[in-house]
Chains A and B, each alone.
Chain A
Amino acid sequence: TAKERVRMPEMDPQERIKYQDREVNIGLSADQAQKEASRCLDCPNPTCIEGCPVSINIPKFVKYIEAGKFLDAAKTLKETSALPAVCGRVCPQEKQCEASCFYTQKMKKDPVAIGHLERFAADYERESGFMSIPEVAPANGIKIAAIGSGPASLSFAGDMIKLGYDVTVFEALHEIGGVLKYGIPEFRLPNKIVDVELDNLQKMGVKFVRNFIVGKTASFDDLKEEGFEAFFVASGAGLPRFMNIPGENYNGILSSNEYLTRVNLMNAAKDEFDTPVIKGKTVAVIGGGNTAMDSVRTAKRLGAERAIIVYRRSRAEMPARVEEVHHAEEEGIEFINLANPIEYFADEKGKVNRMRVQRMGLGEPDASGRRRPIVLEGSEYDIPVDLVVVAVGVSPNPLIPSEVKELKVSKWGTIEVTEETMQSSIPEMFAGGDIVRGGATVILAMGDGRKAAANMDEYLQKKHKAN
C-alpha cells in the first residue's frame, strides 16, 4: 500500500489573515520530512529531474533526507540551485518537478512533495548554523557587472564569484532582491530568508550597489571605462500593464506592482512608516496569476471585508500556483471567474466606487492551449468597490533597451539572446530572467543566470587568452 503524501502544516486561516508578515506554511518537521522522503522510489530513470529547470538531483537529495543526512541534502541542492529555500517555497512545483514524478505520471497518485522537502533541507541548513559557504577560486581580477538584483542576477553572481571574478551587482531600488523583496509578500516568502542568501553572497565577495540605475546614473560606456569587461542584464519585467478601459485612472485603481511595492518594500501598512496605502473595504483584484493572488491576500490582511478575484477565464485556467489559490480560498477570498471589468465609476472626488464587469464564456483553445474567453453580450453588471488592483501582467523593463540603441530587442521589448549562451547582440552583454522571457518564474530566471555565468566565463577566458 502506497503511503499518503505528507500535508504541509499551516497557520490557521482565521489567525493568519491578521498578519501581513507571518508565513502561511509552517514547514515540515524532521519526522514528516523523513516519512515523505521515504515515498520516493529512487527511480532508475528519475523523470522528476527533467521537470526541474536547473536539474536538481532530486532522488539524491530526497534520499539524504530519508537517511537523516539533512546537511548533505542541502549541499546537493546547492550544487545546482542558488536559492533552494526560495524555490522550495515559490516554484510552481505542480507544473514542474512534481508533474514529472513517477507517482503523477505512472501511478496517478500524489507526487513526492519535492518542493516541501527542498524547503525543509534548505531551512534546516540555515537554522543549523552550519550553512556552508561555497569555496571561491582565487581572484582573477576580471571585473564584471550584473544589472538588477532579482533571482537571475543573484544566481549569476554566485556562480561568477565562485569562479574568481570581481562581481558587482547594481540595483535601481534601495533594497536588493528584485521581485523577491518588492513583489512576493512576507506571508509567502519571508525577507529574512532572502537576506541570509544575500549575506552569503556578500561573504563570498559579491559587491552590491543600491540606488544605481545602469544607463542613467552611469552609462555602459562609463562602466567600461571603469574596467567592467562584461555585463549580465537582468532588469526584469517591471512595467505593469493596464487594460485601457474607461475610468482606469481614477484614484483607488492601481497596479499590483504599486500596491505590493507600497506594502512590501515601503512598509506602508505600518503606521510608523511614511508611505501611504489605501485600505479598501471592498477590494477587487483583476487577474488570475501569482501577482493577483498575492494582492488579494494582502488586501484581506489589511482589513478588507470583501476581497475579490475577478478573472476572465475559469478556475482551471488560472496561472497562479495551485497552493496559493487553495490558500486564498481558505482565507475567504471570493472568486468571480469568467468576468472582466469594462469600466470604472467614481465619486465626485475621483475615487473609484463601482466597477462594471462583463461575463465571459469559454471558446476554442488559443495558442497557449487554454480555452479562449469570449464576451457574452448584454451580461454586464456592477460591483461596488473602493479599491481595485490591476494584475493583468507586466512588460519588460524598457530602461536598458532605450539607453542602449544597438541592443537587439524583440517586438515585445524583450532582449534577444542566443538561447544556448544567453549572449545578446552585443558580445560583452548577456541577459536573462524576465527581461528575456517576459514575466516568467524565479527558477527559470535562476537557470538563465547560471547559463549566462558559464558562457560569460568561457567568453572572457577566450578573450583573455587571445590577448
Chain B
Amino acid sequence: MNQIVEKVLFSEKVAKFVVDAPRIAKSRKPGHFVILRVDEKGERIPLTIAGADPVKGTIVLVVQKMGVSSAKLFELEVGDYILDLVGPLGKATHIHQAGTVLACGGGVGVAPMLPIVEGFKKAGNRVISIIAARNKDLIILEDEIRKWSDETIVMTDDGSYGTKGLVTAGAEMIIQREKVNECIAIGPAVMMKFTSLLTKKYEIPTQASLNAIMVDGTGMCGACRVSVGGNTYFTCIDGPEFDAHQIDFDELIMRLGGYSNEEKLAYERYV
C-alpha cells in the first residue's frame, strides 16, 4: 500500500501524483518505471517514474486518462492508497557525455522525459528540448523542462500555444541549425516513429522509450514483446528504451491495439 501525498491537475486529463515509496525513491534511476494496481479488481499498469525525492521517500508519477485503469487512478485523492506498486522496473537510461542532445517529448511522454533531460544536463551535455502536444492544455511540465534545458521549444498541433506544428518540424529545424549528437524520443508511438524516421535521415543515434502493453513487468509473460533489429525483445526487461532506428514501430502500433475491443467494453462498463 502506497499513499498519495500530493496531487496536481495539469489538465482535465493529465495529473501528477506524488506517492510515498521510500525504497523506490532511493533505488530508481532515469528511465525506470513502476507497475501499479489501484484496487483489488484493477489491472497492472506501467507508469514511468517522472521524479523522486529520496529524502522524503516519494516518487512522482504523471498519468493521462486513457481507459479504465488510468481513470481509476486519476480519481484518487491525497491521503488515498494505491493497493500495489512495484519497481523500479526496466533498464535505466544510458546517460553519458554525448555533446548536444535533442530531447523530443510528445503529450504525457514529457513526464518520463524530464528525469532523462535532467540526467543529460547534469552529465554536462548541451540539451535542447522540444515539448509537443495537440493543444495548449496538454502541454505539461514546461517550467521543469526549461530548468534543465539550454533551450526549450514548445509546439502544438493547433497552434494554440508555442509554435504551430508537429514535433518533427521543430526537430528538423534544430538539426539543420546545429550539430546534434544524440536524440531521445518519448511519446505516442506514431510520434516516435516519425521522429525516428527523421533522425535516421540525418544519421543521429536515437533512443525511443516504448509503451508496450504489459502485465507483470518482470519478463514473465511476453505481452510486451517488440521487434528491434529483427529480433524479439521484452520491453519490460530489455527496455523500455531501444535504438529507435531498429524498432519496428508499425508492429508496436499494431500490438498496442491488441486488446482494444476488450478495453472498449471495459470502459463502457466502467462509465
Taking beta carbons and an 8 Å cutoff, which residues of A are in contact with B? 172-174, 182, 210-213, 216-219, 222, 238-240, 242, 244, 248-252, 254-255, 257-258, 261-262, 266-267, 271-278, 349-351, 397-399
Contacts and interface: CB of A to CB of B under 8 A. Distances in A.
A228 to B, nearest CB: 14
Contact of A216 (B89, B215, B216): B89
A274 B216 contact: no
B258 interface: yes
20 contacts: A172-B86, A211-B86, A213-B87, A239-B220, A240-B220, A240-B221, A249-B251, A249-B255, A255-B221, A257-B222, A258-B223, A261-B215, A274-B266, A275-B43, A276-B259, A276-B263, A349-B257, A397-B219, A398-B219, A399-B237
A395 to B, nearest CB: 9
Contacts of A272: 41
B155 to A, nearest CB: 30
Contacts of B87: 213, 216-217
B224 to A, nearest CB: 10
A18 B61 CA distance: 41
Nearest to B253: A350
B42 interface: yes
Nearest to A402: B237
B23 interface: yes
Nearest to B265: A276
Contact of A398 (B41, B237, B266, B269): B237
Contact of A218 (B23, B69, B216): B23
A210 B84 contact: yes
Interface residues of B, number: 40
Nearest to B88: A216
Contacts of B266: 274, 276
B221 A251 contact: no
A459 to B, nearest CB: 28
8 tightest A-B CB contacts, nearest first: A276-B262, A350-B254, A258-B221, A251-B258, A211-B86, A275-B43, A238-B220, A174-B84
Contacts of A267: 41
Contacts of B259: 276, 278
B121 interface: no
Contacts, number: 119
A242 B87 CA distance: 26
B63 interface: no
A210 B216 CA distance: 13
Given A274-B42, A276-B259, A278-B262, A217 B23 contact: yes
Contacts of B216: 172-173, 261
Contact of A254 (B27, B222, B237, B254): B222
Given A217-B27, A349-B254, A399 B215 contact: no
Given A173-B216, A217-B87, A261-B216, A242 B232 contact: yes
Contacts of B258: 251-252, 350-351
Contacts of A398: 219, 237
B37 interface: yes
Interface in B241-271: 251, 254-255, 257-259, 262-263, 266, 269
Please indicate which of the listed interface residues A174, A222, A273 has the most CB atoms of chain B within 10 Å of its own CB: A174
A217 B88 contact: yes
B86 A251 contact: no
Contacts of B69: 274
Nearest to A258: B221
B135 interface: no
Contacts of B116: none
Contact of A262 (B41, B83, B215): B215
B171 interface: no
Given A172-B216, A274-B68, A277-B262, 14 more contacts: A216-B27, A217-B88, A240-B221, A242-B225, A248-B232, A249-B255, A252-B258, A254-B222, A258-B221, A258-B223, A266-B44, A275-B43, A278-B262, A351-B258
B198 interface: no
A397 to B, nearest CB: 7
A213 B220 contact: no
Contacts of B175: none
Contact of B218 (A252, A276, A349, A399): A399
B20 to A, nearest CB: 13
Contact of A399 (B86, B219, B262): B219
A250 B250 CA distance: 11
Nearest to B86: A211
Please indicate which of the listed interface residues A210, A258, A262 has the most CB atoms of chain B within 10 Å of its own CB: A258
Please indicate which of the listed interface residues A222, A257, A274 has the most CB atoms of chain B within 10 Å of its own CB: A274
A274 to B, nearest CB: 4
A258 B215 CA distance: 8
Contacts of B220: 182, 238-240, 257, 261, 397
Nearest to A248: B232
Nearest to B89: A216
Contacts of A258: 215, 221-223
Interface in B111-151: none
A422 B202 CA distance: 54
Please indicate which of the listed interface residues B221, B223, B251 has the most CB atoms of chain A within 10 Å of its own CB: B221
A217 B24 CA distance: 6
Contacts of A350: 251, 254-255, 257-258
A266 B43 contact: yes
